[in-house]
């Protein structure tokens, strides 16, 4: 009796463990199942590099280059803002701030992580967009820049907490050795601690990019949604994720439009897969 | 010497300013939502049906919808997640299978939320024929939440000292008896904290429910798990981008309702974590 219970439990937990693998495969299979049907209508090259996204014109054109560039532009902007701020904030929290302030700052960052993206999108519409409109004298504040700023904030909790972990796990004797040699705390931070934590910093940047490129609702709401080739960061753009969210509701099931949105999903899935493997690689290198 | 000290002072000041730039907007956002949202948050607003194309009335069906979705997510994700974590921490060896499962979990955690929406549409809504329903939405959200729960539970299990298990084994207890009576009771607070945080994320998600459950305007309560439902996050999206001339008061009220729900879950998790830290004696 006891033996059979043990046996059943053992198989049950094994199956639950394997379920994660099954889910990843299922996600990929279902994206492929719907997405690959597109390539009867158009070829991979004109899908990836086509300059026109007119999914419901006659004949439709499924070029996602404007969407890819839109995603890249917004992501690049967000990373340029978030990485220096994230590194600085993590260093401050881990190395400089007094204990009482450290706890307040960490709670604040946790709070930011807890705010749903739809709420940040709404706040972006009512505060950030009008602000940018006035500052840059634009016809509308809903631009790639607004998206970048908002996404930078959404990526910051991830970036800060991973870099902070990396800094805290730098062995204590590195720090003590440096200080004993007469280095100041600041010299120790940027000559010893940051280089020692560099793998963690790279992992944080990778995961930040993953978070930003996959973010959907906030970008859908504040980037202005124009599926055209972007020429400036002060112009409305449309990202890959926002396109799926905005158009799937109206896409007729089984149409080229429907398949093309799944094909965009394949691109996003592959991209996030690579980013996460890279981040995992950097995190494990740190431990080794 | 004086130069290096001045450099340090300047450097620390720059770090402080950067940190302030990160933190201040968080405070401002919370204050803004409270200040503009609180006047709207009357019992009537929370408990009434929306009227006049959502330009008046309340948000009751959206609250109920989000509550059901969170409950459904919990029902699927918690058992699966805890069992998977027990496997990884208590049963699995250091082999290729464990490594593959770990990589799968990392990738599940990184899949964009809108891709979960596509997946849910493809598998649950269309292939399995659940239609846009609470069932399809909960299943989609639960797969998205799974990696959070697995990671948190695994962490909680791994903080239970090895010696606890060794004593249990040496008394003749089997592996499952050890897990059931020794490891799990000591890990419960950590598991709860992680699970609640995962659920609070699911409650605030919009993209995965767009095509799997969310109803634009449905001024009645869902009758079964095969029903569509309104949900707070999607309702915010609708109110702020899809319906013209919605009063700011209703918009902020809905935003505050969601924020309060999510924060309440987060605070619960923090309280459990804080209590546990105090009680922990090893």
CA A192, A196, A200: angle at the middle one, nearest 5? 140
Rounded to whole angstroms, how far apart are CA atoms A132 and A17?
Answer: 48
pLDDT of residue B275: 83
Contacts of A225 in chain B (CB under 8 A): none
Domain ranges of chain A: 68-287
Residue B281 pLDDT class (50, 70, 90 cuts) = low
Average pLDDT, chain B: 92
For B193, residues 6+ apart whose C-beta sits below 8 A from its C-beta are: B152, B156, B269, B270, B272, B273, B276
Point out the residue among A85, A97, A122 whose CB comes nearest to the CB of B22: A85
pLDDT of residue A227: 86
Model pLDDT for residues B160-177, shown as the tens digit of each residue? 999 999 999 999 999 999
Q: CB–CB of B120/B211 below 8 Å?
A: yes
Contacts of A1 in chain B (CB under 8 A): none
pLDDT of residue A114: 92
Contacts of A118 in chain B (CB under 8 A): 204, 206, 233-234, 236-237, 258
Q: Do B112 and A221 touch (CB under 8 A)?
A: no
Q: Hey, what are B109's tokens?
A: 């955690």
CA–CA min distance B281, chain A (Å):
23
Domain B43-279: CATH class, spelled out: mainly alpha
pLDDT of residue B215: 86
| pTM for this predicted structure | 0.93
- How far apart, in Å, are the Cα atoms of B264 and each of A114, A256, B237? 11, 44, 21
CA–CA min distance A113, chain B (Å):
9
Point out the residue among A17, A216, A275 whose CB comes nearest to the CB of B114: A216
Contacts of A122 in chain B (CB under 8 A): 236, 240, 251, 255
Partner A contacted by B25 (CB < 8 A): yes
Domain ranges of chain B: 2-40, 43-279
pLDDT of residue A288: 44
End-to-end CA distance of chain A: 44
Residue B197 pLDDT class (50, 70, 90 cuts) = very high
Place of tokens 């609640």: B196
Domain A68-287 has CATH 3.40.50.300: no
Residue B1 pLDDT class (50, 70, 90 cuts) = low
Q: Do A244 and B259 touch (CB under 8 A)?
A: no
pLDDT at B26 > cutoff 60: yes
Q: Do B83 and A12 touch (CB under 8 A)?
A: yes
Contacts of B112 in chain A (CB under 8 A): 213-216, 241, 268-269, 272
Q: What is the dihedral of CA B255, B256, B259, B264, to 10 degrees?
A: -150
Q: CB–CB of A262/A168 below 8 Å?
A: no
Partner A contacted by B144 (CB < 8 A): no
Strand-pair category, B50-51 with B56-57: antiparallel
pLDDT at B117 > cutoff 70: yes
**What integer is the mean pLDDT of B225-232?**
93
CA–CA min distance B126, chain A (Å):
9
Digitized pLDDT (tens) for each residue of chain A, 288 residues in all: 678 888 999 999 999 999 999 999 999 999 999 999 998 778 898 999 999 999 888 888 899 999 999 999 999 999 999 999 999 999 999 999 999 999 899 999 989 999 999 999 999 999 999 999 999 999 989 999 999 999 999 999 999 999 999 999 999 999 999 999 999 999 999 899 999 999 999 999 999 999 999 999 999 999 988 888 888 899 999 999 999 999 998 898 888 999 999 999 999 999 999 999 999 898 887 554
Q: Hey, what are A239's tokens?
A: 């990202």
Q: How many CA atoms lie within 13 A of B65 on its CB side?
A: 34
Tell how far CA A100 is from the center of its chain: 31
Q: CB–CB of A129/A141 below 8 Å?
A: yes
Contacts of A114 in chain B (CB under 8 A): 200, 262-263, 266
């Amino acid at each position: 009796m006891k033996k059979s219970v043990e046996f059943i439990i053992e198989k049950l937990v094994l199956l639950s463990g394997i379920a994660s693998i099954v889910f990843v495969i299922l996600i990929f299979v279902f994206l492929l199942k719907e997405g690959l049907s597109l390539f009867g209508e158009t070829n991979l090259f004109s899908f990836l590099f086509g300059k026109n996204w007119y999914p419901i014109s006659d004949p439709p054109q499924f070029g996602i280059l404007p969407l890819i560039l839109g995603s890249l532009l917004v992501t690049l902007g967000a990373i340029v803002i978030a990485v220096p701020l994230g590194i600085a904030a993590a260093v401050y929290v881990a190395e400089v701030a007094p204990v009482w302030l450290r706890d307040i700052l960490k709670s604040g960052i946790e709070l930011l992580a807890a705010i749903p993206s739809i709420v940040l999108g709404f706040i972006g519409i009512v505060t950030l967009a009008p602000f940018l409109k006035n500052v840059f004298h634009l016809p509308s504040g809903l631009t790639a820049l607004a998206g970048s700023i908002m996404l930078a904030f959404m990526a910051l909790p991830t970036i800060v907490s991973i870099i902070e972990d990396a800094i805290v796990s730098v062995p204590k004797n590195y720090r003590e050795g440096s200080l004993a040699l007469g280095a100041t705390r600041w010299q120790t931070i940027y000559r010893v601690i940051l280089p020692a934590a560099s793998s963690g910093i790279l992992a944080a940047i990778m995961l930040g990019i993953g978070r930003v490129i996959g973010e959907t609702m906030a970008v859908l709401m504040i980037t202005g949604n124009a599926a055209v080739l972007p020429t400036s960061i002060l112009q409305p753009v449309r990202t890959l994720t926002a396109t799926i969210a905005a158009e799937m509701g109206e896409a007729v099931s089984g149409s080229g439009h429907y398949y093309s949105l799944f094909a965009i999903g394949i691109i996003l899935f592959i991209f996030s897969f690579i980013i996460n493997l890279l981040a995992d690689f950097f995190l494990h290198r740190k431990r080794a | 010497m004086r130069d290096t000290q001045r450099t340090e002072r300047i450097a620390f000041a720059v770090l402080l300013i950067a940190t302030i730039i990160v933190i201040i907007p968080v405070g401002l956002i919370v204050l803004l939502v409270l200040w503009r949202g609180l006047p709207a948050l009357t019992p009537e607003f929370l408990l009434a049906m929306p009227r006049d194309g959502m330009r008046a009335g309340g948000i009751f069906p959206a609250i109920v919808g989000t509550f059901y979705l969170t409950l459904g997510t919990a029902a699927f994700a918690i058992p699966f997640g805890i069992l998977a974590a027990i496997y990884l921490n208590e049963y699995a060896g250091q082999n290729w299978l464990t490594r593959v499962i770990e990589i799968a979990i990392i990738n599940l955690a990184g899949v964009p939320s809108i891709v979960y929406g596509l997946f849910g549409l493809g598998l649950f809504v269309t292939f399995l024929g659940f239609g846009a329903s609470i069932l399809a939405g909960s299943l989609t959200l639960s797969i998205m939440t799974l990696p959070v729960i697995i990671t948190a539970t695994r962490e909680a299990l791994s903080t239970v000292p090895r010696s606890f298990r060794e004593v249990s084994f040496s008394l003749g207890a089997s592996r499952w008896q050890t897990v059931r009576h020794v490891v799990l009771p000591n890990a419960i607070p950590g598991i709860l904290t992680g699970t609640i945080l995962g659920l609070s994320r699911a409650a605030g998600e919009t993209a995965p429910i767009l095509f799997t459950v969310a109803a634009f305007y449905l001024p009645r309560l869902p009758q079964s798990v095969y029903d569509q439902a309104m949900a707070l996050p999607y309702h915010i999206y609708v109110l702020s981008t899809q319906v013209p001339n919605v009063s700011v008061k209703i918009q902020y009220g809905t935003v505050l309702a969601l924020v309060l729900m999510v924060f309440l879950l987060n605070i619960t998790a923090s309280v459990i974590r804080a209590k546990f830290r105090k009680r922990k004696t090893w």
